Chain A
Amino acid sequence: EPEVTQTPSHQVTQMGQEVILRCVPISNHLYFYWYRQILGQKVEFLVSFYNNEISEKSEIFDDQFSVERPDGSNFTLKIRSTKLEDSAMYFCASSFGTVGNQPQHFGDGTRLSIL
């Protein structure tokens, strides 16, 4: 069964550095998402992306964050100047559509640790 893949599985970065998290969504999916889960807390929506632009974003997704689909397969999340509170598990997801019968499929996540 096709799956969403994320790399790296664990990223350790110094505070203030830029980090790029990478995702390969399921190939025929059209909608892409990033979520994060701070340790011990709920999974939170960050951003959704369709047709090469952001369709929705949450209050968390401020100017420090950006997303890109640089080619036909990758979907990236960039954090420009990382803060300690950016430490979390970041999940990428994709779906074929956004109507009620289209589930979102998630990757295994990237654990981001900011030192």
Chain B
Amino acid sequence: KQEVTQIPAALSVPEGENLVLNCSFTDSAIYNLQWFRQDPGKGLTSLLLIQSSQREQTSGRLNASLDKSSGRSTLYIAASQPGDSATYLCAVLSRGDTGRRALTFGSGTRLQVQP
């Protein structure tokens, strides 16, 4: 069964810092990995998608890497801003032992950027 773990669970940093969020998954047979942002009481906003054949994706100040063989992904946020404060979720699309293709989510990292 696919399990997704995110570390740390919470992170508080001063504005301007560069930071790294970690995601690990147990079954490396994935189709893709997505990073989402979730604001309180809101839906999920897709930030980056990395296909299983890719090593990284970049969008603005965000860079996500994927090491499929070791079951790890990192989300790097450069020059953090208070507006980056949110929960960041990692999700992998895989088939798993149930044979069902579905997104499996981590618990998220709750980020607070202090002005």
Identify the A interface with B (CB < 8 A): 4, 6, 33, 35, 41-45, 48, 55-58, 91, 93, 98-101, 103-109, 111
Contact = CB atoms under 8 A, between A and B. Distances in A.
Interface residues of B, number: 26
The 7 lowest CB-CB distance pairs between A and B, nearest first, are A108-B43, A45-B102, A106-B44, A100-B51, A43-B105, A103-B49, A100-B31
A1 B67 CA distance: 31
B91 A106 contact: no
Nearest to B101: A56
A107 B44 CA distance: 7
A30 to B, nearest CB: 14
Nearest to B51: A100
8 contacts: A35-B103, A42-B105, A48-B102, A100-B32, A105-B46, A106-B36, A109-B43, A111-B41
B28 interface: no
A58 B104 CA distance: 11
Interface string B10-47: 00000000000000000000011010100001111110
Contacts of B107: 41-42
Interface of B: 31-32, 34, 36, 41-46, 49, 51-53, 89, 91, 93, 100-108
A5 B5 CA distance: 29
A33 B101 CA distance: 12
A42 B44 contact: no
Contact of B106 (A42, A100, A103): A42
Nearest to A105: B46
A63 to B, nearest CB: 18
Contacts of B108: 42
A87 to B, nearest CB: 15
Contacts of A104: 34, 46, 103
B34 A45 contact: no
A44 B3 CA distance: 12
Contacts of A33: 103
